[in-house]
Amino acid sequence: SSRARTSQHLLRARSLTPGPEAVMSQDPKAVAGLVADLKMLAAFETAADWREQKAMDSAYSAVSWSDAGVKAALPEYLAASASERAKVDYAFNAMVPRPPQDIDGRQAVMHTWIKARLFSYNKAYPFQFNPYAQ
């Protein structure tokens, strides 16, 4: 029947075009790494608000500094043009609306690290922010 053919066509099209669920099944560590770094950023900021140096050090040390994918993306992110960084900055600012404070320069380093992580994700799977795009 035509419904069965349409269903088969949709399944075939989905298998050729990786959707968000396919991306997640390929690298579930991507989201976990981002969430873990965002948690450490929040912990660092909270500790900084209370001037708890040991907690700040602990949160900073727990960031994914050894992640090879982010290490590779960092110089690319820093060298990227403003237009290439725009989507990454938009995504980052949606998750972290406050700029780094002047309490400790490490907060700005953490911001840049997370942006480099997002840059690598955007490079592999371009962000789509238009709700009307299909």
Torsion 47-48-53-58 (CA) sign: positive
Give the pLDDT mean for 69-86.
96
* Alpha helices (runs of H) in 17-81, residue ranges in sequence order: 20-26, 29-49, 53-61, 68-79
Q: Model confidence over 6-65: pLDDT tens digits?
A: 444 444 444 443 444 444 445 667 899 999 999 999 999 999 999 999 999 999 999 999
Query: How confident is residue 84, by pLDDT bands cut at 50, 70 and 90?
Result: very high
Instruction: Please give the Cα distance from 81 to 31 (Å, whole number).
Output: 25
Please say if the pLDDT value at position 91 is more than 60.
Answer: yes
**Residue 42 neighbours by CB distance under 10 Å:** 12
